[in-house]
Structure 1
Amino acid sequence: MSEEQGGPVLGSTLAEWLKAREETKLHLRSVAPPVDPIWVQRLADLLATERSWQDQYTDLIALGRHDQRFPPSNR
């Protein structure tokens, strides 16, 4: 959905999320257990932010449905 249509603009958010995922993969390949506690905290913060973003996005999508609910997954 484009900004002109009144929908959310997700390009920059998606780019940052993908960048964070790649950084996480690179970091996990480069460290031996135990993982640095400061890095683990940063990951926990990132995941909480991602979860919040997913909840907000789900709510936005639900606004366009007749029943105002996000459809259940088919998985």
Structure 2
Amino acid sequence: MADRAGGPALDPTLSEWLKAREETHRHLGTIEATVDAGWTQRLADLLATEQSWQAQYTELVALGTPGRRFPTSNR
């Protein structure tokens, strides 16, 4: 999905965000009886990556809205 005026494309960012989410999901599936510091650090890194991609995607989506701001959540 690209901006009609030749602006940024959403598909690459969405793809990377979904990839980060899938990687986090796979990592969570590896949990064992004991969670060590390495596992915890990897999860923290994955969650930070996912949050970053989500923020970038949200900013890109907002470019197509009035005021170029993503609406606040109703939740």
Aligned match of 1:27: 30
Residues 28-58 of structure 1: CA distance to partner in whole angstroms, max 9, x if unpaired?
2xx113x021111011011111111111111
CA RMSD of aligned residues (A): 2.2
Match of 1:27, SS state, is: coil
List alignment gaps of at least 5 residues for structure 2.
Answer: none
Percent identity over the alignment is: 49
Structure 1: how far apart are the matches of 2:33 and 2:60?
Answer: 40
List alignment gaps of at least 5 residues for structure 1.
Answer: none
Q: TM-score, normalised by structure 1?
A: 0.72
Pick closer, same or farther for the CA change 1:51–1:4 going to 2, 3 Å.
closer
Higher relative contact order (CA 8 A, sep 6+): 2
Structure 2: how far apart are the matches of 1:58 and 1:4?
Answer: 14
Structure 1: how far apart are the matches of 2:33 and 2:54?
Answer: 31
Aligned match of 1:56: 56
User: Aligned pair 1:44/2:47, yes or no?
Assistant: no
